[in-house]
Structure formats: structure tokens, C-alpha cells
Amino acid sequence: MEGAECIILANPDVGGIGIRVGVYLQALLPLLISYIDLFLGADEARRESNKDTANALVFTGISLLISAIVQAHTKGLTVYHAYTVLNLCWVTIIGGAPVFVMGVFNNVESMRDLNHKFVFSLFSLKLSLLGAFGIWLNLKVRSFDTSPNNCTGTTVLWWFGRRIPAESWHSRGPLLALYVIMAVPGNNTGTLLLIILGQWLESSAILLNRMSMGYLPVPATNTAVKIFMLPFILLHSPRIIRIFQGINTIIYWAIVAMMITITEKTISINKIAPGEHDWTLGQTFATIVAFFPVFGLLSRFAKSVKLPPSVERMWAAVYDDPLSKPMINGTPLYELLVPEKMTWRQKVRILSLVRDFLSSIQGEDQDSLKKTHIIVKMMITMLENEIMSKYAADGFIRTFDDIIHRK
């Protein structure tokens, strides 16, 4: 049945809307929380919950692959649904990889922990299963579907506006090479780390090229030298790390959105028999299980982030211990550093800088206290002359950040 009217058999347990929505939410939420943390400051409970959600993505991807392999060997699986499984697995990998990789970069010692080794091994296993399944599908695409209603000849894949036949070697060749790399344990995770590191350097080079010379001392030189200098520059200014993480998070969002678009467009251009969107018992159960880590992350996030109306309540919500020292003319320093004309994001940013600065003061460090008084006088002058607009606040944040990290 390879004619023009060939209709692919429905399989709601693989291509159902509930399965897809559950996977998409699990993949997008860790990226969203990571991006929000850049503005609110990373909360330990929220960070751990984010890791739990990313770990759940590993199990979700493994479950999808095992189910697809078992079904293909038993009652059969169409080429269309096999490619849908591969796309959904890529969504889980891209959504969870940044949280996983940045956790390794931020705390290499944690990899000695048995739990982290276990998760790392599962992540490698997931990539190996993905590679093995992808190799099998692309090598045996014409004989993969053993059902009587074989529609492989009319199955098409969507790729940026182009409809590519599933049997075409132009689509299978590059994919086969990719899945061969993914199938080798250890090599797959190493390759993924190199890809992310390469994207890190590329984004950082773009950032450095557009950076103001007055803000960061980067000599006027070529991109290669700037990339070489990158580790020293990042160590110089923690604020740049936040900017860089924000750029990378947006890029990961774009990649996940691209994979979701490819999946949904592929679904829309193929003819599927009625029943694909029926809510079966298996689909309902899988969707509920997928939503548990999402609800857990949202619950912890709601408890850790509040938007109080006053500066004092805002400070208490963002940090556990409000600043009470040093006092300037009877007024706590943190109150002087959060004028009402600033935006809420700018207030939180300055409070974060103040906290980092004061925590670095050792005893009665006169030099640090002198710099604190300079900062306060600068702020008071701006307030008295009513020039601290939301635009001037950004300049003050840069100045404050520079003073703190050059002390």
C-alpha cells in the first residue's frame, strides 16, 4: 500500500498529543528556570529541583527508546512513529544536557559522588540507545515497518520548509553518521560536551566583539586571541558569566523550539489514520508520570520566589539573612542602594552585588570599608540630584560591579 492514499496506522501511545506535551514541558521547564535564575540568583533548592527534572528527562528518553524497540520487535512500528520517537528523544537530550553539563563544569568534584556517576552512566546509556535505534532505522528503513499497511514510501520528514522522503539517502546519510557517533558509550557524551563547549566559545566570541571597551579591558585584536583570553576574562568579571549563561540558555531554547517545530510539522504533513489523538490508558499514565517532576519544580520555584511590595520584604524573599551592616547615618546600606526609581530586576541585581561584596570583607578591612563609603556617596549624590533613572541605574550597576571585583 505505497500509493498516494496510503494512511499510516494510528499509534497514540507514541505520537499522541499527551505524550508530546509531557516531553515538551519537561524539556522546556529546566531551561526556563535556568534563565530565571540569572535574574533572581540561583537558589540551592531550586537548582537541585532543576537537576531532578533534568534527570527525569534521562529516564523519559530511555523509556521512549525501550518502548519503541520492544514494539518494533513485537507488533511492529511504522517508520513515521520511529522518527517521532527519535525527535522526542532529541528534545529530552537538548533540554536536559545544559543543566547536566553545567553541573559537571561547576562542580567537578561532584562526579566522584556515586549518584552523579549513576546519572552520568544513564545519560551515556540513553545516547547509546538513541544511536543504536537510529542506526537500525536508517539502515533498514525500507524493511523496518513489518505491518501489512506499510506506508514508508509515502512517509515524509519536514526540514525547514522542505519535505524530504523518509527513504531518501540525502536525509538518512547525515543522520546515520550522527547516530554512529551517538552509539559509542563514552564517545557520545564526550562529543556532546565538545559541541556544547564549541557553542560556548562561539557565543563568547560574539559577546566579546560587541562588548564596550570601557566596561571590560579587552584589547582590539582578532577573534582567535579573544577566545584564547576567554577564561581569564570570565574569571575577571562574574557578571560576564551571567550574560554568557543567558545567551547560551536562549540558544538552547531556540534548539529545543526547532526540534519541536520539526516534530510537529512532520506530524502535520503525514496522513495518519483516526485515533492518533485518542487518550489511551498508556498515554494517560505516561503523561501523568511526566507531569510529576514538572509540578515538583513549579512548587519549589513558587516557594523560593516572591514579589513583595517593599524593599525589605523583597530582600527577605531573595536572601535568607537581610543585610543590617554597615549602617550609614543610621540607615542600613542596602536601603540606600535600592532607590524606588530602579526596576525590580535592577534592585535584585544590586542587592546581589552588595551581598557578595560585604561577604568578602574580612574583619575591619579599612580599604573595603572606604570603597563602601565611596559607593554610598555616589548613590546619595545621584539621589539628591534626581538623576537615578532606570537607565542611569544600569550604568551604576556596571560601576558598582567593577569596583567590587577590583578591590
What is the C-alpha to C-alpha distance for residues 32 and 294, in angstroms, rounded to an integer? 12
* The predicted structure's pLDDT at residue 88: 92
| For residues 391-403, average pLDDT | 56
* The predicted structure's pLDDT at residue 231: 54
* The predicted structure's pLDDT at residue 85: 92
Q: Which of 5, 8, 10, 274 is nearest to 152 (CA)?
A: 8
pLDDT at 75 over 60: yes
Q: Give me the residue spans of the domains in the chain.
A: 12-210+241-304, 311-404
Q: How far is CA 119 from CA 36, 55, 109, 133, 288, in A?
A: 25, 7, 15, 21, 23
pLDDT at 29 over 70: yes
pLDDT at 112 over 70: no
Q: List, in sequence order, the alpha helices (H) in 113-168.
A: 114-139, 141-144
Residue 8 DSSP label: B
pTM value > 0.85 = no
Higher pLDDT, 194 or 264: 264
Q: At residue 388, what are phi and psi to the nearest 5 degrees?
A: -85, 75
* The predicted structure's pLDDT at residue 2: 47
* The predicted structure's pLDDT at residue 243: 66
* The predicted structure's pLDDT at residue 95: 80
Helix (H, G, I), strand (E, B) or coil at 147: coil
Helix (H, G, I), strand (E, B) or coil at 163: strand
Q: Which of 319, 286, 287, 318 is nearest to 305 (CA)?
A: 318
What is the C-alpha to C-alpha distance for residues 32 and 54, in angstroms, rounded to an integer? 12
What is the C-alpha to C-alpha distance for residues 398 and 208, in angstroms, rounded to an integer? 16
Q: What would the pLDDT profile of 189-246 be if each residue is shown by its tens digit?
A: 666 666 566 555 555 554 554 443 333 444 444 455 555 555 545 544 555 556 666 6
Q: What would the pLDDT profile of 159-171 be if each residue is shown by its tens digit?
A: 888 888 888 887 7
- Please name every residue paired with 297 in a beta bridge, in sequence order, or none if there are none: none
Q: How far is CA 228 from CA 98, 205, 245, 261, 407, in A?
A: 23, 10, 19, 36, 25
Q: How far is CA 39 from CA 32, 35, 291, 344, in A?
A: 12, 8, 26, 10
| For residues 172-188, average pLDDT | 80
* The predicted structure's pLDDT at residue 84: 92
Exposed (0-12), middle (13-18) or buried (19+): which is 55, by Cβ within 10 Å?
buried
| For residues 361-382, average pLDDT | 54
Higher pLDDT, 332 or 319: 332
**How much is the mean pLDDT over the chain?**
67
| Residue 186: count of CB within 10 angstroms of its CB | 10
Cβ-contact 131, 183 below 8 angstroms? yes
* The predicted structure's pLDDT at residue 143: 85
Q: What would the pLDDT profile of 40-58 be if each residue is shown by its tens digit?
A: 555 555 566 666 777 778 8
Higher pLDDT, 5 or 26: 26
* The predicted structure's pLDDT at residue 99: 65
What is the per-residue burial (b if ≥16 Cβ within 10 Å, else e) of 274-293? eebeeeeeebeebbeebbeb
Q: Which of 22, 45, 34, 7 is nearest to 302 (CA)?
A: 45
pLDDT > 90: what percent of the chain? 5
Confidence label for 387 from pLDDT (cuts 50, 70 and 90):
very low
Exposed (0-12), middle (13-18) or buried (19+): which is 76, by Cβ within 10 Å?
middle
Q: Tell me the helices (H) and strands (E) count for the chain, helix number first.
A: 16, 4
pLDDT at 9 over 80: yes
Cβ-contact 378, 339 below 8 angstroms? no
